[in-house]
Structure formats: C-alpha cells, structure tokens
Structure 1
Amino acid sequence: MGTPIIVQYRINAPLEKVWKALTDKNDMRSWYFDISDFELETGRQFNFYEPGNEKKYHHQGRILEIIPGQKLKYSWTYPELSSEKTFVTWELQPEGGGTLVTLIHDDIDSFKDLGEGFLRDSFRKGWNAIIGESLKLYLEK
C-alpha cells in the first residue's frame, strides 16, 4: 500500500466556495483540469487529459465517496498505461475565516513503473502546484 502523499494548505476562502471549486466542472476548468464529463454523483466515472492539444495521459476516475462540504474521494487511473488504481481524497475543514484543504493520494507507488513523470516526487510537486498555486490563486483573488 505504501505511504500516501498528503498535501495541506489553508485557503483564505469560505468552505462553500472551496467545495464548489472542487466539485463544479465549470470552476474546475479555471484552476484544475477540463473534466467535461464530471458529475458529482457516487459511482460516476470521469475522464480528462493533461492540458494542451496532444491528449497526453488519459486520466480516468470514479467517484467513490461524497460528504458534501467535507470530503470527495475518487479513484485515479491511467487506463491506457496501467491496470493499477490509486485513490485521491479531498478533505475540507473550516479554519478561522478560511478553509483547510487536505489532499491524500493513496497507493501512488503503483505507478512507479510507468516512468519518471509518475514517481512519488512528481505527484507531490504536481499536487503542491495545483493546490498551493492554482487553487489558492483562483479562490483568493
């Protein structure tokens, strides 16, 4: 199973605004990925690619758990590269006038054989940039 990647940031925005950014596909397009088939419903599958026109790295997820305003968990796979599956969990907690965002990416070592871009350090850097820069800038503007 391995040690999960855990990334945590305090965002100066109310919990409701952060939850919407994590679960509304129109909001996600502004800071995360363009996930046109994302629907906030347990069991729903969604697909997306890295930004750009080259359709690089097909990501596929399935929503596993939703606790509105608190938790969103989904599987994370690269179906064209591996049969392995990892799990991404977003947890939100109100903190002062802002929100504490915790991301947990479990079983990440399942992808280590796919190459350098799939190593633990690459995912850790990616999540820190996505949350600590993109999400934070989007919500704190």
Structure 2
Amino acid sequence: MKPVIITQTFEASAEKVWKAITDLNEMKLWYFGNIDVFRAEPGCKSKFEVQSGERVFTHLWEVIEVEARKRLVVNWKYAEYPGDSVVVFELKETANKTELTLTMKVLEDFPDDIPEFKRESCQAGWEFFIQQRLKSYLEINQ
C-alpha cells in the first residue's frame, strides 16, 4: 500500500498542536478516549482496544522517534492481526499557524480481507481524526 498522507494547517502554535498530539489528557479529548498511557518518549508503549462492528482491534503503539514540537514517529500494530506500520506526525510552524503532515506507512501488509485495513478506510480515518476532530479541538481550545 502506498503511504497515506494527510496535511492540515491549524491556527495554532506548534507548541499547542504538539501538546494536543502528545499529552495523554488532550489526546483523550479528540483521539481515542481509552488510551491507557502515552508519553512522547522513545520506547513508550500503549495498548488499548477499539471496537468496530463485530471486530476488536487492540492497538499496540510504541514511540520510536521524538523531536519536540517538530516530529513524532509511532510504530502501530494490532494484537489480533498480522501487519506493521509507522505513523509520522511532522509539524511546521509559520506566522502563528502550524502545518501538520501525517504519514502512515505500511511496513508489513495487514490482512486484505478486513475492510478497516483497506487504504480508503485508513485515509478516511486519518482525515476524520486530523481534519475534523483535531481541527475542531484546537479551534475550541485556543
């Protein structure tokens, strides 16, 4: 699968956007409310379940790279399914605005027969989280 790339500009500082994507309390408000733990430190691991219809997806995250207010790289897998990916959040600040580019790269294919793993589903999911949920969260919490 070719990488999924989502870009969004926010009327917020890089520090504010960084806090929204790395502070556990803020992440729970726009991202996944049941994230168990998260620290923007290499080696930090998170494990939490997301239900989709009949299926459960136990998310397994590990932070692998951090450059504060600029770049966050997370390894992303699922306990129930083969496959491996990396999600990169990159921030660029210019004149009180911050551009976030999210890139999701599949390192090892996920099962083709699971609709949630199709490229279109991944694209739509990231657009929802970045372009709707995070954007709305940052607008409300200026």
TM-score, with structure 2 as normaliser: 0.89
CA shift at 1:41, angstroms? Answer: 1.4
- Matched-pair contact (CA < 8 Å) for 1:109–1:119: no
Offset at 1:21?
Answer: 0.4
* Identity fraction in percent: 34
Q: CA deviation at 1:15?
A: 0.8
Match of 1:65 in 2: 65
Paired residues of 2:76 and 2:84 also in contact (CA < 8 A): yes
Deviation string 1:94-129 (CA, Å, 9 cap, x unpaired) is 032210000000017712425111100000000001
Q: Distance in 1 between matches of 2:89 and 2:80?
A: 25
- Aligned pairs for 1:4-23 (under 5 A) are 4-23=3-22
- Considering only aligned residues, what root-mean-square deviation do their CA atoms show, in Å? 2.0
Residue pairs, 1:55-134, within 5 angstroms: 56-82=56-82, 84-107=83-106, 110-134=109-133
Could you list the per-position Cα deviations for residues 61-109 of structure 1 after superposition, in whole angstroms to 9, with x for gaps in the alignment? 1110000000000111012122x21000000000322100000000177
What are the ranges of 5 or more consecutive residues in structure 2 without an aligned counterpart? none
- State whether residues 112 and 120 of structure 1, in contact with CA within 8 Å, keep that contact through their aligned partners in structure 2: no
Retained in 2: the 8 A contact 1:49–1:55? no
TM-superposed deviation, 1:14: 1.0
Once the two structures are TM-superposed, the CA of residue 45 in structure 1 deviates from its matched residue by: 1.1
TM-score (ref. length: structure 1)? 0.90
Match of 1:136 in 2: 135
Greater share of strand: 2
State the aligned residue count: 138
